[in-house]
Structure formats: C-alpha cells, structure tokens
Amino acid sequence: MATPHTAKDFESGHFPTWCPGCGNFGIWTALKQALVELNVEPHRTVLVFGIGCSGNETNFVKAYIFHSLHGRSLPVAEGIALANSGLTTIAIGGDGDGYGEGMAHFIHTIRANPNITYIVHDNQVYSLTKGQSSPTSEHGFKTPSTPFGNPDNPINPISLALTVGAGFVARGFVGDTTQLTALIKAAIRHRGFSLVDVFQPCVTFNATNTFKWFYGKVVKLETLKHDPTNRDAAWKMAQHPDKLPLGVFYQQEKPTLEDGFTVIAKKPLVEQSPERRQIVALLEKMK
Amino acid sequence: MSTGEMFARACMRAGLNVFTYPEYPSLIRGGHNTVLVTASPCPVPANLEQVNMLVALNRESIDLHLAELSPRAAIIYDTTDRTFANFKPSSVKRRDLQVIGLPLEKFAVDVGGQKLMRNSVALGASCALLGIHPNDLTEVVRAMFGDKGEPIVALNAKILMAGYNAIAPAQRKQCTWKVKPVKKAGDRVLLTGNEALALGAIQAGCQFMSAYPMTPATSILHYLAAHGPDHGIVVRHAEDEIGAIHHAIGAAYAGVRAMTATSGGGFALMTEAVGLAAMTEVGVVIVDVQRPGPATSMPTWTEQGDLRQVLHAGQGDFPRIVLAPSSHQECFTMIQEAFNLAEQYQSPVIVLTDKYIAEGQRSVPVSDLKPVAISRGKIFAGAAGKKNDLFKRYDEKVADGVAPRALPGTPGALFVANSDEHDEFGYSNEDASNRVAQVERRAQKVATLRKKGVPPRFCGPKTAPLTVVTWGSSAGSVEAALQILDDEYKLQANAMVITMIAPFPIPAVTAALKAAGKTVIIEANRSGKLAGYIREQTGLSMDSAINRFDGRPFDPVELARQFAKLIKR
C-alpha cells in the first residue's frame, strides 16, 4: 500500500508564472487533487506537455515530466504508454497547441486508443504568443493576427472526438474544480484514451469568453439527465444550441492500442531485456 | 522481382558471390521493371552496366538494353507475348548475340501453372544455357516456397524444368557464358541492405520501431512488423513521420531502444524533433534511406543527397551522430553501433543509406554478420530517500558531457525532460550562465565521441598514385572499379570510405589526404556534398570529383576508366 500523498508531493516548489486569476490554476489544483485521491505516486506518473501557457505547468508540477514541442504531446505520450504500460501517462495540451498544431495527432491518437488521459486547456486563444485566435475561437474574434475578425469557424472538440470514436469524452470548467477533479479521476481510471477538454478563461487576452460569460452558459450534464452510454445523445449534447454542458458526454471501453501488441501482453516493454537476441532462424530463410 | 532472387540464390548455392540491382518506376503496374543479377567467383560489391543474359518479357526490353549486352550475350524472349507478334530475331542489329525465342506463357500453362509464371520458365532456360545444375534450382524453389506447401513447390519446380528442358544441347554449347560452381563457398545469406539493417536492429535489441511508409525505407517497417513480435519489438505504423519520431522519442525516454526509418522527405518532417531529442537528451536511432530530391523527385531511384540535411537538421547548435554504412554487412553492424551510441551519448543518431544499398541484394557470409555487444550507457537506478525526490539529470559537472539518465518509474529520480533550456533538474531556465553551462556540456559529448569515433575504412594498397574518397553505397562501385583498374589497366589505386560522418574523424582523414598522391571523390549528388564537408572539417580539398545524379548507381567500368585517366595524367 503506497504512502498517502498530498497535493504538495506533486508540487515542484517553483511558483507558477501564470497571470493572477488565470484559469490554469484551477486545472493545476484539480490535477494534483485527482492524483492524490487516486493514490497515484509521483514517480509512477508521467506528464507530457506541449507548448503554451498550459505547457508552462511543466515547471510547477512534480512527477516525471516531458515538455514536448508545440502540438506534439500526444505522440510522445503514446510512445511512453507503449514502452511502459505500468505508468500513469497523462498528456496535456492547449487549444492552440493540441487542436491547432497537434490536430492530426489528436485524431489519430483517438483512433489508436492508447491508455492515456488528455487534458486540454481550452481558453479559445493563443495566450503564450500574446493573443492570436485559436481553433476554438469564435468566428469574428478580433485579435492581433485577425484584426478584422477571425475568418475561420471554430472546431467543436467534443463532437470531433465523438466522431473519431473516442471512448471517453468529457468537458470541465475551472470555475468548478470539484467537478473537474472528479472528471480527471474518471478519465485516468478509464481504460483507453480519455479526453477532458477544460474551459479555462484567459484573463489577459480573451475579453469575450470570460468567467462571467461561462457562468451564464455552463450547465451540468447530470442536470440535463444525460446518459453517457448513449453516443447519439452525447453528439446532440455536444451541439447544444445555447448551453455549454459540462461532465462526461460519453464513456465506452474498447480494446486499447496496447491490446494489439502481443509483445506487451504479459510484461511492460521496458521490463523486457533487449539482450541475447537470436537471429539464426531468420538467417536460415535467406539462404 | 522474385525471379531475379531465385536466380541469385541458385548462383549463390553454386558457390558464387551475387549482387542484385532492381530498377522500377514509381508505379504499381506496368512500366519497365528489371532486376540485374551479377554473379562471380570473386566478390561482387556492385553491379556492372553489362548484361550477359537478357530475359526479355516484352519487345522494348531488347531495345532498352541492347547497348548493355556484352559480346556473345544471349537473349531469351517470349514468343507468346503480343509485343513480339511480328518480331524477327534477324532484326536485332547484333550478329554476335544468341537469340532464343520460347513460348514461355504456353510452357507455364501446359504444366499447370498460370501465364504470369512465364518468368520462371525463362529462368529455367537461362540456367540451362549458363550451366547451372537443375538441383541448385530446385533446392532454391524448396527454400523459397517450402512454407507454401508441397503442391506449390512441385508446380514451381515443374515450371522451371520445362524451361530448362526447352534448351537443346546445341544451344547450350553455343552459349559461352557459363556459371562454374565454386566448392566450399561457405555459409552465406542473400539479403537487401534494408533486411541487413532490420536484422541488425533485431540483433541490437531494438524494442520499439515506429515508422510511416516511404520508398525506399518501407521494407524495414515491413520486415520488422512481420518478425519484430517474435523478438520483443513493438512495431507501430504511425499516422505520419512527425508522429513516428515522437513515438520513438517517447519510448526511448521511457527506457526502451527505439528507432524510426524513412527517406529524405520524411526526415525533413522530423527536423524539429531531432532537436527535441538532442535537447531532452533522449537517444533515438533515425534511419534515412536516401533517394533523389528535392520534393518527390524520383522515389524509386538512388542518390546520396541528404548529407547536409541530416547534418544540420533542427534549429540551433547541438550534437548529433551520423553514420553511413557502406556495405550490406555494415548495415548490419552499424545499426547496432547506432543504438549503442544513441544510448551512450543520449543523442539522436542518424543512419544514412540509400536505395542502391537498401533494395539491392548481396550474398554475405554469415560470419560477417557479427553481433555487437549491447551497451546502454549511464543509467541512474534511483536513490534510497523519498520516492518523489528530484535528481540532477542534466548535471553540469560531468567531465564527458554525459549525465546519467533515469527511467520514468524509478523512485527518487524525478526530473524534467524539457524542450526549453533548463537547469540541472530540467526546469526551464533562461539565465545566461545556466545557458552557457548546458550548451557547453552538451557540446562536450561530441568532443568525447570524436576521440573515440569510427575511423574511415581503407581498402587497396597502403600507398598508391591515386586515392579515391567516397561514402555509402558508392563504396561498392569504387571497390569494383579498383579491381578492374588492377585487372585490366594494371594500375593501382586505394580508397578511403568515410563511415562516421559526424563527429567527423578529422585527424584520420587529414593524415590520409596529406599522405595521398592524387585524390578524387566519388559521390552520387551534383554539388559534391561530402567534398564540401571534408573541406569544412579539414581545410583540405580533393583534386577532382566524379559525381553522378541521374538516379542510377556508378558504373565500375566507367569509374576504372576515369581513374586510369587521372593516374596517367
């Protein structure tokens, strides 16, 4: 039985460099709390970050950390999951990093269904680069790169994940860290790829999608009597005309990527020795 | 293609050395496809541009290869192919050739096979003309088709013998090209450079391979996907090349031996990740099987054009290791060295080959395919204190630049593998003094390796009037040319083959060039990439250069002619 941890065990000691009031504080809190409640040990946890304000969490959290390139947290996390299925592997991205640069990996990692959790800091703007529009920004959003209004239409990460066939799709909001903690726990527990898209208002660069704006729109899926085993219902909820539902949209276990490799059926790859390979039989076939 | 392989294996079983060279366009069906098999009692490091026996399955094959046919060469053509409908052997503008027409498709069908097995009929006929014993042929059939069941083996053997028996004794006598068996040739295998590399990766203890299909690297993925699972390798067909390299980096960071393989265009996509591996100090092996560039160019042809791309990929200054196997046997051994170097120096290691070596087969003595002892570098096994203690993964104080790594899951060894510049624990850090310390420590890895590095390979006499400098698959053509230079011109030259490109073996190359007489550099690219790089590293230039960039390999006969001219000048 592992020694019970506290949130402090997951803190690096470096104070966050996020702006006061940043939505990221809520995700940081919820993530630490979820790991504590699940009794996951810091040395058996790998957090893989991309680049953005979300990526800066690299320095504030304590575990095995991999700070990857912009948009590339998912494929690194997939490699880690295949190499060592005994770890808790969590990938973290932002709406720009994950749904922009990393969109191809988002779609294909869902298809693969490796046993990892993906938490996306969704603030509908590129904050670290100082305020440009992102793949989840509203059409018409005015920013330094789109001063006459964003010409693109936003993606809907929830319906996109459902379309590609994700087995766990959830959305949270930093204004309700209790719910967010529960969502992250459920996501980590889920066997397979789990998406937690988190509304996380950027107090510095997004004057449209503010905390106040969110409070007026969010509603819990439980309140709407949603059945998360019903994919069609989940799809409809994702497209809700005037509300932003929060909670687990859909959950269904299915074979994971790891299940497809007999090599790791009994033992994690990293625990298998690379020594003493015998290629005599292969050479025989070439004579 | 497998007919060429059958012929090559039959020659190999007769005790000869063989080398096969396939040419094919980037199509699935149609186009002009050839396999040139060169067999000899002497070593065959490259093919010559000459044909002694041509099997023409369509009319244009005769026209396309007429110039390459040697004196008294033989042509076997398919009288049943519609392109030969109005063909008369007398129309071939060479009187010295032995032109034999056989109803190849009919023979195949008559013994119960299909029309497309006609090349096996031709193979049987070729073997009769060349004096290859039918037993060697049928042994090959058994070896190649054995696991498909006895009926398939029997059918293929029948088809081969139908062709064999179609050749009359008088025709056999007329053919002056003969395969003379060599006794006690030793235990050998026939394999492509890609197969040698894949086998070497298995031998090296590769545990993870992620790749995206790209000609001419794809057969590495296919071979490992088929055989990897029996040898403890997880083989992942990735969504794209960027996914592939990041999968490999993640797997290597987690503690397994990991690689990817691609061609120049795929490597181009991996560029940023090369820097990520260097910055986080994760050892991965990246194979670039070169083909002509730029962009899509000629996917199924050969070139040595990616040297600068791999040397300079990725923004900023960081150490990397680049190896260039120059033979099939080196594909097997150098990939093993690559994995060791990747883990010992915690660095991306790029292995450069090209289509000519990757897709051509060569007979290699089994004794040349030696295992290289596995060395995994410095690994920190964890501390006894608190399980979530940090450790100095990027310790500035290590003399050789290499700080021990810890595998995720190890208690008391937490750190950050950070694409940002970082402190000794891996936390992001932009202080000037920290930056200098980390850059210097990483650079020290190159300095350390340079002292131990792989010297060039030398062949030929110790001193000679001409020294030929080359790398990669061109080395085979050069070796063959040196032999011709000696046999036919009675002149001597030696060769220096550069196999470790980075860190460059500056002292060894400088000494060799200074001691050399005339020098010439052979490489398959237009701008002389290795020549420029040698000049950059040593300050020295070669006297002349021979470059080929038409997608085809060098012709040893032509090289020998040029070498003779240079020596006599």
**What residue numbers bound the domain in which A11 lies?**
7-284
Torsion of CA A238, A239, A242, A247, to 10 degrees: -10
Report chain B residues whose CB lies below 8 A from the CB of A41: 387-388
- What is the total count of domains within chain A? 1
Last residue of a domain, one of B343, B368, B393: B368
Residues B295, B430 within the same domain: no
Q: Does A41 touch chain B (CB under 8 A)?
A: yes
Residue of chain B whose Cα is closest to the Cα of A273: B205
Q: CATH number for the domain including A107?
A: 3.40.50.970
Reported as a pLDDT band with limits 50, 70 and 90, residue B79 is very high
Last residue of a domain, one of B432, B452, B472: B452
Residues B414, B335 within the same domain: no
Which residues lie below 8 Å from residue B129, measured CB to CB, with a gap of 6+?
B53, B74, B76, B98, B100, B167, B171, B172, B175, B177
Residue B450: name the closest of B401, B517, B513 by CA.
B401
Please report the DSSP string for B335-395 in residue order: HHHHHHHHHHHTSEEEEEEEHHHHHSEEEEEGGGS---------B----SS-TT-B--TT-
For B13-39, the pLDDT digits (tens) are: 889 999 999 999 888 888 899 999 999
Residues B360, B383 within the same domain: no
**B73 in a domain, yes or no?**
yes
Residues B435, B508 within the same domain: no
Would you give the DSSP letter of residue A103?
H
Q: Which of A69, A273, A283 sits opposite B272 (nearest CB)?
A: A69
Cross-chain Cβ contact B143/A78 below 8 Å: no
Q: Which of A10, A75, A83 sits opposite B243 (nearest CB)?
A: A75
Q: Which residues 124-153 of chain B have a CB within 8 Å of chain A?
A: 143
Contact B338, B200 (CB under 8 A): no
**A28 in a domain, yes or no?**
yes
Backbone dihedral angles phi then psi of residue A220, each to the nearest 5 degrees? -80, 140
Q: CATH number for the domain including B210?
A: 3.40.50.970
Q: Does A84 touch chain B (CB under 8 A)?
A: yes
Q: Which residues 428-447 of chain B have a CB within 8 Å of chain A?
A: 428
Q: Which residues 382-411 of chain B have a CB within 8 Å of chain A?
A: 387-388, 390, 407-411
Residues B30, B121 within the same domain: yes
Residue A112: name the closest of A279, A254, A216 by CA.
A254
Q: Does A9 touch chain B (CB under 8 A)?
A: yes
Q: What is the mean pLDDT of residues B225-238?
A: 98
Per-residue confidence (pLDDT) for residue B307, from 0 to 100 = 98
Neighbours of B67 (CB within 10 A): 10
State the pairing for strand pair B69-78/B457-459: unpaired
Cross-chain Cβ contact B243/A108 below 8 Å: yes
Backbone dihedral angles phi then psi of residue B51, each to the nearest 5 degrees? -125, 125
State the pairing for strand pair B457-459/B493-498: antiparallel
Q: Does A22 touch chain B (CB under 8 A)?
A: no
Task: List beta partners, residue A65.
Answer: A47, B416
Residues B244, B329 within the same domain: yes
Neighbours of B567 (CB within 10 A): 18
**B373 in a domain, yes or no?**
no
Cross-chain Cβ contact B426/A65 below 8 Å: yes
Q: How far apart are CA A64 and CA A44, in angstroms?
A: 8
Last residue of a domain, one of B409, B430, B452: B452
From A112's Cα to the closest Cα of chain B, the distance in A is 10
Tell me, yes or no, if the pTM score tops 0.90.
Answer: yes
Contact B360, B19 (CB under 8 A): yes
- Structure-block tokens of residue B479: 């070796």
Q: What is the mean pLDDT of residues B181-200?
A: 93
Cross-chain Cβ contact A83/B207 below 8 Å: yes
Most A CBs within 10 Å, among B210, B257, B282, B387, to test the A interface: B387
Q: Does B257 touch chain A (CB under 8 A)?
A: yes
**What residue numbers bound the domain in which B86 lies?**
2-185
Q: Which phi-psi region, left, alpha or beta, contains residue B474 (left: φ > 0; alpha: ψ -120 to 50)?
A: alpha
- What is the total count of domains within chain B? 4
Distances (CA, A) of A270 to A81, A96, A223: 10, 33, 45
Residues B442, B463 within the same domain: no
Q: Does A80 touch chain B (CB under 8 A)?
A: yes
Residues B263, B166 within the same domain: no
Residues B47, B168 within the same domain: yes
For residue B495, pLDDT beyond 80: yes
Residues B403, B464 within the same domain: no
Q: Which of B229, B244, B251 sits opposite A83 (nearest CB)?
A: B251
Per-residue confidence (pLDDT) for residue B171, from 0 to 100 = 96
Share of chain B above pLDDT 70, in %: 100
**A2 in a domain, yes or no?**
no
Q: How far apart are CA B557 and CA B496, in angstroms?
A: 19
For B444-494, the pLDDT digits (tens) are: 998 999 888 889 999 999 999 999 999 999 999 999 999 999 999 999 999
Q: CATH number for the domain including B108?
A: 3.40.920.10
Q: Which residue has the tokens 């190849």?
A: B104
Residues B154, B239 within the same domain: no
**A1 in a domain, yes or no?**
no
Distances (CA, A) of A287 to A273, B153, B187, B428: 29, 17, 8, 54
Cross-chain Cβ contact A282/B199 below 8 Å: yes
Q: Does B418 touch chain A (CB under 8 A)?
A: yes
Per-residue confidence (pLDDT) for residue A1, from 0 to 100 = 45
Q: CATH number for the domain including B493?
A: 3.40.50.920
Residues B496, B538 within the same domain: yes
Please report the DSSP string for B379-429 in residue order: B----SS-TT-B--TT-TT-TTS-PPB--TT-TT-B-EEESS-B-TTS-B-
Residue of chain B whose Cα is closest to the Cα of A262: B229
From B388's Cα to the closest Cα of chain A, the distance in A is 6
**B90 in a domain, yes or no?**
yes
For residue B8, pLDDT beyond 90: yes
Per-residue confidence (pLDDT) for residue A2, from 0 to 100 = 52
For B329-372, the pLDDT digits (tens) are: 999 999 999 999 999 999 999 999 999 999 999 999 999 999 99
Which residues lie below 8 Å from residue A36, measured CB to CB, with a gap of 6+?
A4, A5, A6, A7, A9, A10
Q: Which residues 340-379 of chain B have a CB within 8 Å of chain A?
A: 366, 369, 371, 374
Q: Which phi-psi region, left, alpha or beta, contains residue B322 (left: φ > 0; alpha: ψ -120 to 50)?
A: beta
Distances (CA, A) of A133 to A95, A149, B287: 10, 9, 38
Reported as a pLDDT band with limits 50, 70 and 90, residue B186 is confident
For B373-390, the pLDDT digits (tens) are: 999 999 999 988 889 999
Most A CBs within 10 Å, among B414, B422, B423, to test the A interface: B414
Per-residue confidence (pLDDT) for residue B22, from 0 to 100 = 94
Task: List beta partners, residue B290.
Answer: B354
Q: Which of B208, B239, B272 sits opposite A104 (nearest CB)?
A: B239
Residue B202: name the closest of A79, A260, A80, A263 by CA.
A263
Mean pLDDT by 10 residues, chain A (287 residues): 79 94 95 97 97 95 97 98 98 97 98 98 96 96 96 98 98 98 98 98 95 97 97 97 97 98 97 96 94
Q: Which residues 101-140 of chain A have a CB within 8 Å of chain B?
A: 104-105, 107-108, 111
Backbone dihedral angles phi then psi of residue B500, each to the nearest 5 degrees? -105, 110
Q: How far apart are CA A200 and CA A218, in angstroms?
A: 12
Q: What is the mean pLDDT of residues B412-429?
A: 98
